[in-house]
């Protein structure tokens, strides 16, 4: 894992270190995707594979939904 510190400019801009750009295959003019979760920001190179990156999240969401749907305490509403 590469770790670097960068400074934010007055305009809110940052420079992505060359090692990061090279290893991620980021070139001038590329589109990047930024996601935020609380105080963490993830920057990812835009790719057609991006939709597949949510497969783990989808599996987790389906599991949670199934657990909620199969909640025995909610079955009382089926008798009304």
Q: What is the pLDDT of residues 48-77, one digit of tens each?
A: 655 566 677 777 888 888 877 777 766 666
- The Cα angle at residue 37 between residues 36 and 38, in degrees rounded to 5: 110
CA–CA distance, 71 with 65 (Å, rounded to integer): 10
57's tokens: 């999240």
For residues 11-25, average pLDDT: 94
- pLDDT at residue 8 in the model: 96
- pLDDT at residue 1 in the model: 83
pLDDT at 14 over 80: yes
């Amino acid at each position: 894992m590469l770790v670097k510190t960068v400074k934010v400019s007055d305009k809110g801009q940052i420079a992505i270190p060359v090692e990061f750009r090279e290893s991620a295959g980021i070139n001038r003019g590329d589109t990047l995707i930024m996601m935020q979760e609380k105080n963490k920001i993830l920057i990812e190179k835009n790719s057609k594979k991006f939709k597949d990156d949510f497969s783990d999240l989808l599996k987790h969401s389906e599991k949670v939904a199934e657990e909620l749907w199969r909640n025995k305490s909610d079955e009382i509403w089926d008798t009304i």
